[in-house]
A and B are shown apart, each in its own frame.
Chain A
């Protein structure tokens, strides 16, 4: 008898079954991860357990929690359980808190609502809870409004509210996704510690396999509203049985998951071909929802596979699961030369059926999965220990001509009487504080930084969309920062940009073909536009007929392809990508990165790639600059910076990055780079 038993849970909106009959359980004190990409129904599942589904969405099935069926229980009984026996932490800490109510009152409410404490006692307890979630100045934070706190502090406040009544089950829905890497690491440690000390059961919902693997004991994988696999974390990582899980593991492993010295830049990442159908479309799909993307699919897959035990404690819903490992996980020694990795396939990917177009390609499966990070104790980050030279596919070198450079760049924003922590602080924000950077021809320069580091400001100034307060920007040795717009025409054609949010940066009322053609017309590029648009759509691998569509009719990955096609339209030499893959699902992110890698080579692009994600930068960039509070704290060849970081900030950033199979709090070096909140 488990603490939480979910049986045949169906969550539907009208006719669409967004969650289609899933079963799982969470034992007392057990930590279970619920993995899935956007639209998989993982968040709805958590809200279903809380019975707090959005309006117009209903659930059937049974959710047994402490001998009570939450689906059928009267609302009053559910109110007594919520926040008391079962609590929840949400993804967006800003919107999860009432903006017009002081933090102290919001925490105290958790305590008074169940009649446990009087109002005055609740206030005292709220301060104690804030100290419990490691907030430094609890008294001040109690009096603050949510907007006066940082993202990490807000999430701690939400966590404090959740644990106020010592619940036996905590649901955490992407609790750290909206946070910076270093903050994420600390909040995860905190969560991990609290769950263990309070002996709470945890259901951790995330798209990030690395985050889940760091905290949880068991993993449940969802795809298109269905549960496709569930097993212990180690089993999922070492030998996933469902092709979807295998793809997810391979992708996660190769992208910053395992810091394998053998992972090479610009090699083709393993991907899952295609994209997941939308939730509504998936519910109309009969049979296995993954069959359209699956290399192992057969006639049989038109029938829906049931969840069956592949081995003890490892259930999978697939007609053609990947074979069980023959004996132990095959691991190649860390001393193996790079060349030999190519023919050692990670066990998870060994199935022939997976070798679809996206997954094929030598050398993609081995290093990621079989890297030292997974097998045995984590190897120190660094390739020198292996006694091998680092092979770097560097295209840019110091001899090449600088194409885009900036010198001593300073940008100061005048802040409107910002109030912080109750103290009015007038003044200036130095977004950039003396930044020098050079992008040479053929360079792929990564700019890594957390929110507030000034990386987006830098992008805007490099693009001459904003003017620096002082310092200069040169394009092909000509200053552009002080030029009027009419003199920037050539630079505008040669330097293009791809933004983070493809839905926000594409005009919703323009067709794809018009979006892609617009820069051609705006910059007066001659020739046949339609022919060029067709070429571009082909180059970014979009179907021919997508030109007639509108952005909202495309998936997130397809939209980003449109944004890339638009950027490539005027045949630029320089591409600035600002968090261009950050909003994408893991499997789609790998596809877009592969596309970037291919296009960089094909069109000889010089690239400034701005990201908060070390794994992405490592994969794509030959040089990297680490930005912290408007200053470049470290710059160099990617391999050097990532393996022998000089600055303590870089070390902290690297240590904080979640990796597959690394336990939260394993790596003590994370505390070295003491980054102020």
Chain B
């Protein structure tokens, strides 16, 4: 219920924000040479002459019946454009998440366990640097080092999934660029969570039973660390999608980010609306999933979804 209500509010906000955006779609599409008559004609054709509430109802009605509409510019159904963009962005975000977790958990744990030693402090500093570097800068660095200098991996473009190996290769660098920043951010949360566990009474009890520090941490700590970290991961997913928009541009990938930027430029409003709403829906569904996962992790949370 809450999920649907949130989505409805999100759709309204997306629609209203784009409706007040300057630059009428018809004018942008037809260019500066267009006659007022042609503009009016196109406006009518796109349905943009109708009252704004009517446009909203048409859009949402279309979405509910599974029609995403057609692009103002290409005249193609948005579903197919979005589909091919998702084939790039979906795996990219997934890869970014994976890289992020692979970095965050060991880095955060290490800097927490060694927080009072030099090695832990070094890990913490590296972590902070990771947070400070924007993903596009890291992307450019990766292109220069791994692509241009070492010729290890492709630095841009996407050949499609017909050749999976090649497709994956072209996603590695952008995935790393995306994941390192997320990993650094989540790593801080992992560190805090592990520090909490380390000073917890139940860990002391575990050690009083005769468990070594490492064994106690693995047996009693992991699940307790997972609870707060999972929340952050759910929230950071939105950050990953936003990061993907930027990274796709750096690596010239034909993903959702690229599609989004093009559509904004062209005032292809309906495409923009669909994309933004899709992202909102994904973030909401994932966070709902995190909530559900909570209940299997933490028996204390009453079942009140």
Q: Which residues of A contact B (CB under 8 A)?
A: 50, 52, 54-56, 75-76, 79-84, 87-88, 90, 92, 95-101, 109-110, 113-114, 145, 147-148, 158, 161-162, 416-419
Contact = CB atoms under 8 A, between A and B. Distances in A.
A83 B204 contact: no
Contacts of B297: 100
A416 B304 contact: yes
B304 A417 contact: yes
Nearest to A147: B300
Interface in B21-79: none
B206 interface: yes
A99 B209 contact: no
30 contacts: A52-B204, A52-B207, A52-B208, A54-B199, A55-B198, A55-B199, A75-B212, A80-B210, A82-B208, A83-B210, A83-B211, A87-B209, A88-B208, A95-B202, A96-B205, A97-B205, A98-B202, A98-B205, A98-B206, A98-B224, A99-B202, A99-B298, A99-B299, A109-B206, A109-B211, A114-B210, A145-B299, A147-B299, A147-B300, A417-B302
Contact of B209 (A76, A82, A95, A418): A82
B249 to A, nearest CB: 43
Q: Is chain A's interface secondary structure helix, strand, loop, or mixed overall?
A: mixed
Contacts of B211: 79, 83, 109, 113
Interface residues of B, number: 28
Nearest to B227: A100
Contact of B302 (A90, A92, A99, A416): A416
A635 B179 CA distance: 67
Given A55-B116, A113-B210, A99 B300 contact: yes
B187 to A, nearest CB: 20
A52 B208 CA distance: 8
Contacts of B220: 98, 101
A68 to B, nearest CB: 15
A203 to B, nearest CB: 14
For B116, B204, B304, which residue has the most chain A Cβ atoms within 10 angstroms?
Answer: B204
Interface string B209-240: 11110000001100110010000000000000
A161 B210 contact: no
Interface in B256-302: 297-300, 302
Interface of B: 115-116, 198-202, 204-212, 219-220, 223-224, 227, 297-300, 302-304
Given A90-B201, A109-B211, 18 more contacts: A55-B198, A80-B210, A82-B207, A82-B208, A84-B210, A87-B208, A92-B201, A96-B205, A97-B205, A99-B202, A99-B298, A99-B299, A99-B300, A109-B206, A110-B210, A113-B210, A148-B299, A417-B304
B209 to A, nearest CB: 4
A602 B199 CA distance: 47
Contacts of A418: 302
Contacts of A79: 210-212
A83 B302 contact: no
Contacts of A80: 210
Nearest to B300: A147
A334 B210 CA distance: 52
A55 B200 CA distance: 11
Contacts of B198: 55
B200 A113 contact: no
B210 A96 contact: no
A417 B115 CA distance: 41
